Each structure stands twice: as C-alpha cells, then as structure tokens.
Amino acid sequence: MSVVTSARVTREQATENTHKRGCLFIIRRGLKWLGIILITLVLLGIGYQALATELDKRNFAPRGQLYSVNGHQMHIVCMGEGSPAVILQAGSMAESTWWFRIQTELAEQTQVCAFDRPGMGWSEPVDEPRTASIMNGELHALLEVAGIDGPYVMAGHSFGASLTRIYSADYPGEIAGIILVDSHLVTPRHFASQGEIDSNLTYWNVVSALSSALTRVGLTRLVGNSDFQRSGYPAELVPELTAMQARNQSVDVYYDENGPAFPALQEASASAEDLGDLPTMVIWASQTYDTNQANPSLRPLAEELSTYSSNSASRIVEGATHLSILGNEQYARQVTNAILDVIDAAETGDPLAQ
C-alpha cells in the first residue's frame, strides 16, 4: 500500500470515528434531556396531585354525617324515611356517591343509607387489615352508633356485593333481604396452593404499583372524568366522583382490600353460600355477564350465586356496563325496582319474581 493510500485510509477512519463520537454525544445528550424532561413532568404531576387533593377537601364536603367507629371517623349519608332501611355498599375504590341515582329514587319510598368504608370517600383510613369480618364489623358498629334500626335490606355493588352477602351470613338476624349488583367475587372459592396465593399477591402488587404511580402523578385525575361521563352520571357530580377516586389513599385502600386480604375474603365468601330463604336478587350488567359467559371457569360460579337462597331471582340489565349500571338513569332505575321488589318480598313473604 502506498503512503498516499495509507494516509487516505487513516483520514477516513478518523472521520468515521469523529462521526461515531458525534452520534454518541448527540444520543447521550438526547437521553440526558429526555431524563430531565421526564423527571420534571413527574415532579409537576406530583405537585399537581397534591394541590388538587387539597382543593378537593375545600370543594367537596361530606354529604352525610361522620360517626366515631373504633376510634376513627366513618361517613354515612341517609335520605328518606320508613322501614326497612336500605343500606348501600360501594365496590372497590368507590364510595357512597356512586349510588346517587338509586339512593335518590329509593328515598321516595323508605330510608336509604350509603356509607364509605374506611379510607374511601369521607371515612378516615385505618391500620387494621381489610378482611371481610373486620369491614363488616365496622359497618355493624356504624349502623348502631348512627341509630339506624334493622332489619335491613342491603345492596352491594361489585366488591361490595361480596361483602353484603358475607354480612348477611355474619349477622343473619339483621338482614331482611339482599341485592347483589354485578358481584365481584365470582372467582374459584379457594386457591389450590401457596403458589397460587403468591401469584395472586404478585399480580396485585403489580396492579397496585402501576395504579399508585399513575395516581400520584395526577393521571388518574385527568382521565377519570370521561369514565363517569360515559357511564351517565349527572354532570354536576362528575368532578366530585373523580376527585374521590383520584386520591392516593383510595389506591392504597384498593390494594389493601384486594391484595393481602383476598384469600381470607375467598374463605369468608365460601362460608356464606347457604342463605336459607333470604330474599336475594342477583343483578348483572349485560356486558359483565357476557364476559362471564365467555369464560368457562367463571360462568358456572356466576350462575351459582342465584342458588345460595331458595328465594332468589336473577336479572340482566341489557346494555349496562359495570359502572353505568349505577350511573345511567335508565339502568339505575332497574336496580331501584329490583331493590323495591326485594323489600316487597321481605314484607309479604312472597317469592321473588324473575
């Protein structure tokens, strides 16, 4: 190779190396600025979430009364007069205002009360484990201190439906009838092994981590409005519903109720499968029920809910989703009518009609 050729190759290699170093520099600088931007957005999101949470406290006051239960404040809002009193229990990461449409309609007929479990809505969070027996014990104590006399007709939505059924088994003398709306616990009764328990907890750890991250940087608050709007809630309620769900503590309670406590909830649910002749109405949103039909392991369990009482009926609210079954005026009225049918069956002793 000649001296000229060798020099040319050296210059080309130097140019190529310079180009590579330039590209690496640009990439490193781009990654650096991307990291700075992401950190800035996260910090802004955290600040936005903190400020919005404080503003929510000023803008949205408790709708009902606060009572001391086991040393912490629990919230319950009651409307109407008469008996039997209807007790409304919300699902996971939900609170009493979810029942607004149904509670307002029922109040024309009887007393109806919706409450917040600890850590949700306007009820203070607690340190106790979120097992079904503890949560139902808190509700039992709340009803006593609030002076709401039984027997009750009790309705629960989603996770709250499972707790309602368990409550009727734990306190059978207090319950005149139950309504299970889009019941949450249609999973296998028991985990087959410790490995399945660990896998379930790992799943909830991942879900909790993602939900917590999204909430703590304010993203849950930004997208929540559309969910409640699509589900048919009154426009004036949507900001309040979004604010209650978008708090950090709501996500934390969601994990506490569904993560470590879930195996115990399964056990409690399995022990509440013989309800005798208690008037029991099982209501499904059609979209939820269609999902259960598509899942061979869930469909039999969903259908089995209606066999736990000899005086039971099942209804499907066509077109409804898990949320719109409470939020949409038309769908909510069907739930209201079902509750009134259970009240009638409890008072007359007649069997429930499908």
pTM for this structure? 0.85
| Contact in structure between 110 and 80 (CB atoms under 8 Å) | yes
What does the block give as tokens for 308? Answer: 């736990």
- Please give the chain's pLDDT, 354 residues, in tens: 454 444 454 555 545 555 555 566 677 767 777 777 767 766 666 676 667 666 777 778 889 999 999 999 999 999 999 999 999 999 988 999 999 999 999 999 999 999 999 999 999 999 888 999 999 999 999 999 999 998 999 999 999 999 999 999 999 889 999 999 999 766 666 777 788 778 878 887 888 788 877 777 777 777 666 889 999 999 999 989 988 888 888 888 888 888 888 888 888 988 899 999 999 999 999 988 777 666 666 777 778 888 999 999 999 999 999 999 999 999 999 999 999 999 999 998 888 877
Sign of torsion, CA 210 200 271 138? negative
| Contact in structure between 161 and 94 (CB atoms under 8 Å) | no
The beta strands (E) that lie in 37-159 are given as 65-69, 72-79, 86-89, 112-115, 152-157
Separation between Cα atoms, residue 38 and residue 31, nearest integer Å: 10
Separation between Cα atoms, residue 334 and residue 317, nearest integer Å: 7
Measure Cα distances from 162 to 152, 180, 186, 305 in Å: 16, 8, 9, 10
Those residues with Cβ within 8 angstroms of residue 95's Cβ, 6 or more apart along the chain or in another chain: 116, 120, 121, 122, 244, 245
